[in-house]
Chains A and B, each alone.
Chain A
């Protein structure tokens, strides 16, 4: 079945550090891949997405590249800010069926000044 495996947290970084959060997936078809962010006490916000192999999603300085050969969609940011502190979820939607999202367990990021 479809699944997403995410790097376990929590992750603590100093401001302006480089961020990588690993995400790998298993899917029977050719999924679309997403990164969502959840700030404390709030719902999820879409951060970026990629719908086919080699696509790069980007938003607010975050990037992730859809790598079919390694079944990965790692999230990166060159210089994190305190305001990036949140929980990040990797997710996939399999093109073979209804638009159901399969989520990773989330990675909590804390950025300290």
Chain B
């Protein structure tokens, strides 16, 4: 089945450790996105990529890094510089980066930093 997969579903890390969240899509979409969701809030954009080997910062990129070496993969690293990393992280993709293209979301990864 086509879709977006994120792994793991739950992730626990100690404070000060870097952690990488996986996002894979087999929809042949060009554009991919990472969002962060905090309780009672909407989603906020961390990074997005419109094409392989290219990505741009979103509204809250500080403390995060990404790579886009393959079309189907867009991993997100939460670094120790991120002051409050505990959150629900959602990956999305769209066919292109044209405005209005529907974004499709993965099931999310809940990161808890102890």
Chain A residues close to B by CB (< 8 Å): 4, 6, 31-32, 34, 36, 41-46, 49, 51, 89, 91, 93-101, 103-106
Contact = CB atoms under 8 A, between A and B. Distances in A.
Contacts of B108: 41-43
Given A43-B107, A44-B90, A100-B58, A106 B41 contact: yes
A64 B42 CA distance: 19
A42 B102 CA distance: 18
Contacts, number: 71
Contacts of A89: 42-43
Contact of A43 (B41, B50, B105): B105
Contacts of B44: 103
A101 B100 contact: no
Interface residues on B, range: 20 to 34
B73 to A, nearest CB: 17
B99 interface: yes
Given A36-B105, A103-B42, 5 more contacts: A43-B106, A51-B100, A99-B101, A100-B58, A101-B45
Given A44-B90, A89-B42, A106-B42, A101 B103 contact: yes
A89 B100 CA distance: 16
Nearest to A49: B102
29 contacts: A4-B42, A31-B99, A32-B99, A34-B102, A42-B108, A44-B90, A46-B102, A49-B102, A51-B100, A93-B100, A95-B100, A97-B99, A98-B48, A98-B50, A99-B96, A99-B98, A99-B99, A99-B101, A99-B103, A100-B33, A100-B45, A100-B48, A101-B43, A101-B45, A101-B103, A103-B42, A103-B44, A104-B42, A106-B41
B89 to A, nearest CB: 10
